[in-house]
Amino acid sequence: MKRLISTTINGRERELAVAPNRTLLEVLREDLQLTGAVEGCGVGQCGSCTVLVDGRPVSSCLTLATNVEGRSVTTIEGVAPAGQLSAVQQAFINRQAFQCGFCTPGMIMAVEGLLRDEPGAGEAQIRDYLSGNLCRCGTYSAVIDAVKDVIAEVGAARDRASAG
């Protein structure tokens, strides 16, 4: 039997009718047409379906949709206003940190989580945090470079703010 839940998706409050066996990924893609998060493995290993729940990266393929009741979900569609790019997205473009792009939305959402959890992360921490996001094109080194760029940018902005 479907149940009604209220939740926030990309900043917008929504009332959703979800069946108990539906995953968050299914509801995002099929009910809300938010198709940025994609299903790779379906068992939490590849990271392609990564979204943020209350700011923390989770595998949406292993999250029961009912569990986001009263919580805030951010998908790749919500990281920047329409027509704009987030700092992480821009850094991925600058470094060409993708080839086929299938893993990219999940990769970027994981980086958004990293910036929140470890805003000053060094390379070892970046590698450790992203170790569960798989890219079969092998763009890992470009991804690490992109993340280092963003962290350096954020640090420089912070220094400017404190100097000013």
Partner 1 sequence: MRRFELLEPESFTAASAALLEHPEAKAIAGGTALLILIKHGVYIPELLVNLRKIPGMADITWDAATGLRIGALASINDVERSPLVREHLPMLAEACHVVANIRIRNLATIGGNVAHGDYQSDPPTALVALGAVVELTTATGSRDLPLADFLLGAYETALEPGELVSAVRVPPPGAGWRSAYLKFTTRSSEDRPAVGVATLLQLDGGTVREARLVVGAVTVTPSRMTEVEAYLGGRTLDAGTLAQVGRMVAARIEPIDDIRGSAAYKRRLAGVQAERALELCSTMGAAR
Q: Looking at residues 83 to 122 of the shown chain, list those that interact with partner 1 (rule: CB under 8 A).
A: 110, 113, 117
Count of residues near partner 1 by CB under 8 A: 30
Choose the binding region for partner 1 from 8-16, 37-45, 72-80, 155-163 (rule: CB under 8 A): 37-45
User: Which of 42, 102, 153, 154: binder of partner 1 (CB under 8 A)?
Assistant: 42
- For residue 39, the minimal CB distance to partner 1 (Å) is 11
Interface of this chain with partner 1, residues 55 to 84, rule: CB under 8 A:
56-59, 62-64, 66-67
| Least distance CB 98 / partner 1 (angstroms) | 19
3-state secondary structure the chain: CCEEEEEEECCEEEEEEECCCCEHHHHHHHHCCCCCCCCCCCCCCCCCCEEEECCEEEEHHHCEHHHHCCCEEECHHHCCCCCCCCHHHHHHHHCCCCCCCCCHHHHHHHHHHHHHHCCCCCHHHHHHHCCCCCCCCCCHHHHHHHHHHHHHHHHHHHHHHHHC
Under the binding rule (CB under 8 A), the answer on residue 50 touching partner 1 is: yes
Which burial class, exposed, middle or buried, applies to 107 when counting CB atoms under 10 A from its CB (0-12, 13-18, 19+)?
buried
- Binding status of residue 44 toward partner 1 by CB under 8 A: yes
| Residue with Cβ nearer partner 1 (63 or 89) | 63
What is the contact surface with partner 1 in residues (CB under 8 A)?
1, 3, 19-23, 42-45, 47, 50, 53, 56-59, 62-64, 66-67, 110, 113, 117, 129, 131-133
